Amino acid sequence: MVMSLATKIGNITIRNPMILASGVLGTTYSTLNRMYEAGLGAVITKSIGAKSRSGNPNPSVFALNEIRSVINSVGLANPGYQIFREDIEILMKNSTPTIVSIFGENKEEFKEVLEGLKDLPVLAFELNFSCPNTEMGGAQIGTDPDLVYKIVKELRAKTKTPLWVKLTPNVSDVIEIASAAVKGGCDTLVAINTLKAMVIDIHTKQPILGYKKGGLSGAAIKPVGIRYVYDLYEHFGDKIPLIGVGGIFRGEDIIEYLLAGASAVEIGTSLGVAYPENMVRFFQMKIKKYMKEHQFGSISEITGGVHR
Ligand SMILES: Cc1cc2nc3c(=O)[nH]c(=O)nc-3n(C[C@H](O)[C@H](O)[C@H](O)COP(=O)(O)O)c2cc1C
């Protein structure tokens, strides 16, 4: 039987369903290239905004090894699109399939960043409406269906490049936000960003993170991500492609997201805490073994399997 790991996300095809999640190893062209060469299907940049930002005070990342998870409050630190553009141009010269994650404090900033980068032949723009670690933009947008609709609609009118919307799990009704994004004209839904979280040092009696609060990622959030993808697929069926994110540490986790309804997955924390080249190789081996055992010839045959 012929077997292919290639997957279609709307009208984009990538060589396998594994994509580097935004913010982890995605701050320079060299780390992004390295992750593609490690065997991923595509890479996503750190979220890029209108101006340079240094992010929140340190410590901004804290490992929770006992639950293979991380809490971070990095807070959209980035050099701004005018400077980061040079890195994207190098990725384009190398033909690295790249998705650019963008954010803004408001609609005008989202528009400015898109205008400044839309001539580049990137695979898609991922709209980060879901960062929990910032006062403006981020999840403040992603919890407001009207704002989500308006921003997506305006950006849609400005580009033909696919627009992906990255959803926050920190809402009571994800379908309401997702529907607003779809109505605005987005091409793909991505779930999930980090969960609101906090850690306290019992000896100093103070929060550990400089920003006090943060977002939880890693193994602990995988069942949450699965549930969101499942719910989105229940609602939208195959009308809109879904990408699952959160807690992928093993090939089995990727298969679980596909069965829940995802056409691809994004992987962050695990690639940042282990040797990524080995991780990607193990992921690939596991997916191929599963496909062989269950006689799947393509990723699309696995997608949504739990709903059938
Ligand atoms: C240190 C760190 C920085 C992150 N920065 C971003 C970011 O800039 N933009 C974004 O959309 N998500 C960001 N994320 C969230 C991840 O892309 C991903 O949604 C989340 O970590 C869950 O996936 P994981 O469990 O595989 O890490 C960040 C996560 C971490 C751990």
Instruction: Read off the pLDDT of residues 257-296 as tens digits, 9 standing for 90 and up.
Output: 999 999 999 999 999 988 999 999 999 999 999 999 999 9
pTM beyond 0.95, yes or no: yes
- Average of per-residue pLDDT values in the chain: 95
Residue 111 and residue 99: Cα distance in Å, rounded? 17
Q: How far is the CA of 72 from the centre of ligand 1 (A)?
A: 9
Q: How far is the CA of 130 from the centre of ligand 1 (A)?
A: 10
Amino acid 67 reads: I
pLDDT of the residue at 76? 84
Residue with tokens 């991922």: 126
Residues 35-51 have pLDDT tens digits of 999 999 999 999 999 99
pLDDT above 90 as % of the chain: 90
Q: Per-residue pLDDT for 85 more than 70?
A: yes
Q: Per-residue pLDDT for 178 more than 90?
A: yes
Evaluate whether residue 247 is within a structural domain. yes
Q: Is 72 in the pocket of ligand 1 (CB under 6 A)?
A: yes
Residue nearest to atom 12 of ligand 1 (CA): 22
Please state the rounded mean pLDDT for residues 153-177. 97
pLDDT of the residue at 135? 66
The pairing of strands 264-267 and 18-20 is: parallel
Exposure string over 73-85, b if 16+ CB within 10 A, otherwise e: bbbbbbbebeebb
Q: Is 142 in the pocket of ligand 1 (CB under 6 A)?
A: no
Q: Is 269 in the pocket of ligand 1 (CB under 6 A)?
A: yes
Evaluate whether residue 156 is within a structural domain. yes
- Which residue range is the domain that position 237 belongs to? 7-307
Q: Per-residue pLDDT for 70 more than 70?
A: yes
Evaluate whether residue 214 is within a structural domain. yes
Q: Which of 138-152, 170-184, 196-210 has the lowest mean pLDDT?
A: 138-152
pLDDT of the residue at 109? 95
Evaluate whether residue 39 is within a structural domain. yes
Q: How far is the CA of 121 from the centre of ligand 1 (A)?
A: 24
Q: How far is the CA of 145 from the centre of ligand 1 (A)?
A: 22
Residue 151 CB partners (closer than 8 Å, separation 6+) = 107, 110, 127, 129, 141, 184
Residue nearest to atom 28 of ligand 1 (CA): 23
Evaluate whether residue 129 is within a structural domain. yes
The gap from C-alpha 38 to its chain's centroid, in whole angstroms, comes to 18
Out of 46, 69, 126, 193, mutate this one to test ligand 1's pocket (max ligand atoms within 8 Å of CB): namely 193
Q: Active-site residue numbers?
A: 131
Residues 130-152 have pLDDT tens digits of 877 776 677 788 899 999 999 99
Out of 133, 269, 283, mutate this one to test ligand 1's pocket (max ligand atoms within 8 Å of CB): namely 269
**Residue 234: CATH number of its domain:** 3.20.20.70
pLDDT of the residue at 100? 98
Out of 18, 24, 84, 128, mutate this one to test ligand 1's pocket (max ligand atoms within 8 Å of CB): namely 24
Residue 303 and residue 123: Cα distance in Å, rounded? 21
Evaluate whether residue 2 is within a structural domain. no
Please state the rounded mean pLDDT for residues 156-182. 97
Residue nearest to atom 6 of ligand 1 (CA): 23
Residues 18-41 have pLDDT tens digits of 999 999 988 899 999 999 999 999
Mapping DSSP onto H, E and C, the string for the chain reads: CCCCCCEEECCEEECCCEEECCCCCCCCHHHHHHHHHCCCCEEECCCECCCCECCCCCCCEEEEHHHCEEEECCCCCECCHHHHHHHHHHHHHCCCCEEEEECCCCHHHHHHHHHHHCCCCCCEEEEECCCCCCCCCCHHHHCCHHHHHHHHHHHHCCCCCCEEEEECCCCCCHHHHHHHHHHHCCCEEEECCCEEEECEECCCCEECCCCCEEEEEEHHHHHHHHHHHHHHHHHHHHHCCEEEECCCCCHHHHHHHHHHCCCEEEECHHHHHCCHHHHHHHHHHHHHHHHHHCCCCCHHHHCCHHHC
Q: Is 70 in the pocket of ligand 1 (CB under 6 A)?
A: yes
Q: How many domains does the chain have?
A: 1
Contact 261, 233 (CB under 8 A): yes
Evaluate whether residue 1 is within a structural domain. no
